[in-house]
Amino acid sequence: MIKRFYWCVERALLFMISSIILFPILWMFLTAFKLPRDAYSISIIFTPTLNNFLTVFAEPWNLGSMVMNSVIVAGTTVLIAVPCASLAAYSFSRFRVRGRKFLFFLILSTQFIPAVVIVLPFFLMFRDLGLLDTRFALIIVNLAIVTPFVTWMIKGFIDAIPSDSEEAAMIDGASRLRVIRDIVLPMAMPGILTSSIFCFILTWNEFLFALILTRRDAVTLPIGLVSFRTEHGDLWELMSAAGVMITVPIFIMALLIQKHFTRGMTAGAVK
């Protein structure tokens, strides 16, 4: 009897939690398919339309170019940060480098520098160099946030790989570089991919840098959202359509790494 009661309470709790998680997301998806007049009602029965998506990709919103900017900025950041971070992570994980603790602390502590501090000097420098409102500028500042973080994360994954097979191969005469390429890299791949996706998500959602460094040409998706706040009020149905465009690719990636993600998180935090 009591057990049955607990069982019901637990189901009810889980249902409530899932609703709290999903509701804001579902509401945004619904609104994205509503006509403007329906967007201002809370009815869930309405005639769905794809017009909002057509509108946001047309003039004057040009969501397409923002998608391009976001893809290029996030993609390039990952391509630079992850290889650098993987090499450093291997070194931190396997070698007893002199001053290793200090170096690792240096890497970690940069993670805790507020983004405003980083962007202020870069804003002044890019202004002098005429690089404001370029993707290049965004990539540079994004690297600051992302590189230390992935180093930390990948180190957690490499720590979890036993070093026995590496040592065996080296005794057999394989060089350290070959060991890294042929043994460590394949084994660390799931971790590296997880970290890459994680890093992509961080950059894709990045807001502060893009708000300060872009005006028109290099505007990314999260900044695009703000532009739907016009003098005629907030255009909710268009904001929601843009929101769907920001969210869908990231959700797919997030669900792909969901399993590894939990492990990577704790590996990085505990070790």
Partner 1 sequence: MQDKSLSYALLVPAFVVVLATTLYPLGYSLATAFREWDLTRQIRPGAFVGFDNFAYAFSETGFQNSIWVTTIFVVVSVAVTLVLAMSLALLLRRKGRMHTFTRIILILPFAMSPALIGVSYRFMFNPEFGVLAKGLAGIFPSLAGVPWLADPNLAMGVLLATDIWHWTPYMTFMCLGGLASIPKETEESARIDGASTLRIVFGIVLPQMKGILAITAVLKTIFALKMFDQVVTLTGGGPGRSTETLAYFIFNVGFKWYDMGYASALAWILTAIMMLISIWYVRMLISDKKMATA
Interface residues for partner 1 in 67-86 (CB under 8 A)?
80-81, 83-85
> Per-residue b/e over 116-135, b at no fewer than 16 CB within 10 Å?
eebbeebbeebeeeebbebb
CB of residue 213 vs partner 1: minimum separation in angstroms? 10
Q: Which of residues 197-236 bind partner 1 (CB under 8 A)?
A: 201, 204-205, 207-208, 211-212, 221-223, 225-226, 234, 236
* Subset of residues 126 to 145 that bind partner 1, contact rule: CB under 8 A: 140-141, 143-144
- We find the least distance from the C-beta atom of residue 71 to partner 1, in angstroms, to be 15
Query: How many residues sit close enough to partner 1 to count as binding (CB under 8 A)?
Result: 99
The set of long-range contacts for 183-192, using a CB threshold of 8 Å and a minimum separation of 24, is 184/90, 184/158, 187/161, 188/86, 188/154, 188/157, 188/158, 188/161, 190/157, 190/260, 191/153, 191/154, 191/156, 191/157, 191/158, 191/160, 191/260, 191/264, 192/82, 192/86, 192/154, 192/157
- What is the pattern of x (binds partner 1, CB under 8 A) and - over residues 86-125? -xx-xxx-xx-x---x-x-xxxxxxxxxxxxxxxxxxxxx
Contacts of 62 by beta carbon, 8 Å cutoff, 6+ apart? none
Judged by CB under 8 A, the stretch of 46-54, 158-166, 188-196, 256-264 that binds partner 1 is 256-264
Min. distance of Cβ 161 from partner 1 in angstroms? 16
Q: 63 or 212: whose CB is closer to partner 1? A: 212
251 lies in the site for partner 1, by CB under 8 A: yes
Minimum CB distance to partner 1, residue 50 (Å): 20
> Nearest CA to 52 among 208, 187, 240?
240
- Read off φ and ψ for residue 229, nearest 5 degrees: -95, 100
Q: Closer to partner 1 at the Cβ: 15 or 50?
A: 15
35 binds partner 1 (CB under 8 A): no
Q: How far is the CB of 48 from partner 1 (least distance, A)?
A: 17
Which one, 50 or 269, has the nearer CB to partner 1?
269
Least separation, in Å, of the C-beta of 250 and partner 1?
5
